[in-house]
Structure 1
Amino acid sequence: MLTIQPHQLSLLDQHQEQRFRTTLCRHIQQTYPAYARLSPITLTRLIGFGLARARCYGLTWQASLGSFVYLMAAVAPDFDRHPAIHALLVNTALPVEGRLAALTERLPPGVWTEASRAAGTIGWFLSQDSFGLDRPARIALALANALPDSAALLEEEALLPRALKRAETRGFLSEDAQFVFAACGLHYGEQFEHQAPWAKGLLTPALTVEAQTALLRVRLALDAGIWL
């Protein structure tokens, strides 16, 4: 009689999970051009956060988990923060594995348009249901996942509020822009906007805040391999 030990089952589960993530990564890169430029390692890591968030809603089937991640790529990385979408995802009157189908069956196109317009890449780093969190708490959660080596810095209670205040003063008003600004503060130093040799030419009124945010993303990608 063949006996499979618990540790063997665990290894099998890990192997199947890795294959699942690899498959999702390949399909997303092939289907959504915006993600084609990301390395498979980076995208697979982001997919891991997406799967964790999908599981926090109780989803367990691979079909449901995969659909959740595809919606992140197709609509918005934080699509589940739209009130109408979130309400169905946590609706206990519906079978858990039937809630994603209910999204497409019950919600009008305008809801998906609103979710897409409010999209933020910060959503790729939200590994739990963040609907009830305020902005600083949501950004802190995303930063801990995006820059795990800086987790100790985030424990300093006033660090993030100071960073968000400086970001706001400079006109970084959207959640995504403040997320990127705070990430730069963690990586380059709290006063990076004054101390980094390249900051003066990048953080200039001659550029829109959107352009500055995009350039800060590029800076982190080039200097540290961090994709935001």
Structure 2
Amino acid sequence: MRISIAQRAMFEREVDVQSTLRVIAHLCAFHASAIRGTTPPGPFWPHVRAGMARARSHGIRAEWAVTSFVAMMFEIGPDFDTQPEIRAFLEEGSGLPEMRLMEAVERAPEESWTDAEENADPGAWAIPDDWAEDDPAPAAWAGVSTDRIEDP
């Protein structure tokens, strides 16, 4: 039995959708106030998808690390990874990208995190205007909205 390219693409799309839904579930469960404080009322899945893409731009692929990265974008700022000391860990550290992220969390000075938060640029989410047109499964998270999030 052989899997066609089209079948593989469908499988990868479904894996991506399910991964996005798990990241959203984590954010709703553990970062509800940060989501409400960061995004305008209404759907926030574009922020999650943009955050996942940003994590992947650093080579971060493991879902647990992508989830952590996206949570930091909501909690600290969407461009926390541009702060020089944090960026150095992400780009120049040794080991897998996921381990470099954890190294940044554990070893970057507290002042770096404070600087990243104080200088956060809300416009750094980089959500294209035509995002919905390129989205693989908008129906899967159409109901994901800030007005449906409750604090734990």
Q: TM-score under structure 2 normalisation?
A: 0.72
- CA drift at 1:146: 4.0
Q: 2 CA distance for matches of 1:105 and 1:92? A: 13
* Structure-to-structure mapping, 1:1-228, within 5 angstroms: 2-30=1-29, 31-36=31-36, 38-39=41-42, 42-91=43-92, 93-125=94-126, 145-148=127-130
- CA drift at 1:114: 1.4
Per-residue CA deviation, residues 167-219 of structure 1 (Å, 9 max, x unaligned), is xxxxxxxxxxxxxxxxxxxxxxxxxxxxxxxxxxxxxxxxxxxxxxxxxxxxx
Of structures 1 and 2, the larger Rg is shown by: 1
- CA drift at 1:92: 5.3
Structure 1 unaligned blocks of 5 or more: 126-144, 150-228
CA gap 1:67/1:34 in 2 versus in 1, 3 angstroms = closer
Aligned partner of 2:137 in structure 1 is none
Q: Which amino acid aligns with 2:24?
A: C
Provide the alpha-carbon RMSD of the alignment. Answer: 2.1
Q: Which amino acid aligns with 2:109?
A: P
Structure ranking higher on relative contact order (CA contacts 8 Å, 6+ apart) = 2
Per-residue CA deviation, residues 5-38 of structure 1 (Å, 9 max, x unaligned), is 2221211111111111122223223423242474
Q: 1 CA distance for matches of 2:3 and 2:41? A: 38
Q: Is the 8 A contact 1:32 1:74 kept in 2?
A: no
SS in 2 for 1:90: helix
Per-residue CA deviation, residues 116-151 of structure 1 (Å, 9 max, x unaligned), is 1112211211xxxxxxxxxxxxxxxxxxx44349xx
Q: 1 CA distance for matches of 2:130 and 2:10? A: 25
CA gap 1:102/1:34 in 2 versus in 1, 3 angstroms = closer
Q: 1 CA distance for matches of 2:49 and 2:60? A: 14
Q: TM-score under structure 1 normalisation?
A: 0.50
Q: 1 CA distance for matches of 2:19 and 2:106? A: 26
Structure 2 unaligned blocks of 5 or more: 132-152
Structure 1 vs Structure 2: percent identity of aligned residues? 26
